[in-house]
Chain A
Amino acid sequence: MDFKSSDTVPGPRAEDHLPHTATAAVKIVIVGGFGVGKTTMVGSVSEIRPLTTEETMTQAGIGVDDNYGSDTKTATTVAMDFGRISITEQLVLYLFGTPGQERFWFLWNGLFEGALGAVVLVDTRRLEVSFDVIGRLEERGVPFVVAVNDFPDGPRYPMEDLRAALDLSEEIPMMKCDARRRASSRDVLMTLMRFLHSIAMASA
């Protein structure tokens, strides 16, 4: 393995340490197609410079149509960028953004099951790249909201048209956002939390 000498491992900056009172964490996952701004959103609200974690998986028969019957195993690295927001002295919120290779995220044990909920970030220039991930969240019963990242050159559709195109039920919140702006990204997270709160109220 390519582990570097322990003396050279860079740690967090002093100001990036959590307080010793931190006792529990929660997480939210930000999903969407390649290039829609997931990492941008993580970075705009995170209190730390976004970090990257990864998982290595081996898979037989990637591209099964081409290699059917072959024994080849391919190692696939699934990477995720993440950031952090300290909520209280005790509670920490982690935000995970998931670049590329959508189908692999769902094999990451507990990533979605353990999350409070998810933000689906969509780009109107390539709406269809978010179809699969929305379907997978629906199948798993993960609560989510949809944020339309407002690219200046993206086609403008009325929200009702986007809701119809994404086949979202009425109760799922949708909003426009600018993932580069902290206030806008925070509002998206707040919308998700209010949605989760309304679900909790309804089931109480």
Chain B
Amino acid sequence: MSPPQRRRRLPKAAPKPKPAPPPEGPGPHAGPGGQGRPREPERLYVVTGQVEGGDRAELDLVTLIVACADAPPTAQPEQSALLRLCQAPMSVAEVSAYLNLPVSVVTVLLTELLTAELVQARAPIVRAELPDRSLLEAVMHGLQKL
């Protein structure tokens, strides 16, 4: 018996760091739906109602967040909880998991806290900007200790 067969795909044009926001308006006959393709989902902003393209901080799932001040008395409960969680460095993904909030909502909360300088963000190292091989070697060394 032989296994099912896949066909290789070729790389498309250079990957964009960020896909373009979906077009406005879910017109039933507009856009790619005409070619029989579903429209791409757009993000849902529950807490603040910010729209795509608003001033959100560039935060990755693994950006590390550290609180640098206590919550002011005026802080929302979500923000206070976030500041308590981030007494030690914590990734955006972990904040989302512990607060039980979608990442886009956490991003909006964090943008406000970053603006108010109540938290610091430590950016991740991403593949596109790998400086040299020493990072990969450090990860390998760390895995070997597991």
Binding site for B on A (CB under 8 A): 1, 3-6, 9-12, 17-20, 22-27, 45, 51-65, 68-71, 73, 75-77, 80, 82, 84-88, 91-94, 96, 104, 107, 109-111, 113-117, 124, 127-128, 131, 134-136, 138-141, 143, 155, 157, 161-162, 164-169, 182-183, 186, 189-190, 193-194, 196-197, 200-201, 204
Cβ contacts B122-146/A at 8 Å (1 or 0 each): 1111111010110111111111101
Contacting residue for A24 out of B19, B64, B81, B141, CB 8 A: B64
- Distance in angstroms between the alpha carbons of A128 and B4 in the assembled complex: 6
Task: Tell whether A23 pairs with B78 under 8 Å between CB atoms, given A53-B97, A55-B104, A57-B41.
Answer: no
In the assembled complex, B116 has its CB within 8 A of some CB on chain A: no
Q: Could you tell me the distance in whole angstroms from the C-beta of A73 to the nearest C-beta in chain B?
A: 6
Is B61 in contact with A27, judged by CB distance below 8 angstroms?
yes
Pairs A-B, 6 closest by C-beta atoms: A87-B142, A57-B41, A51-B97, A25-B62, A6-B81, A59-B41
Interface centre among A20, A57, A167 (most CB of B within 10 A): A57
Interface of chain B: mostly helix, strand, loop or mixed: loop
Question: Roughly how many angstroms separate A164 CA and B130 CA in the complex, as a whole number?
Answer: 32
CB-CB under 8 A for A114 and B64, given A18-B88, A204-B133? no
From A5, A26, A109, B18 is in contact (CB under 8 Å) with A109
Residues of chain B from 91 to 144 with CB closer than 8 A to chain A in the complex = 91, 93-94, 96-105, 122-128, 130, 132-133, 135-144
| Cross-chain contact of B28 among A69, A124, A189 (Cβ < 8 A) | A69
Residue pair B63, A25 in contact (C-beta under 8 Å): yes
Instruction: Tell me whether chain A's interface is mostly helix, strand or loop, or mixed.
Output: mixed
In the complex, what distance in Å separates the CA atom of A64 from the CA atom of B118? 45
Residues of chain B having any CB pair with chain A under 8 Å: 1-12, 14-19, 26, 28-29, 33, 36-44, 46-47, 60-64, 66, 77-78, 80-81, 84-85, 87-91, 93-94, 96-105, 122-128, 130, 132-133, 135-144, 146
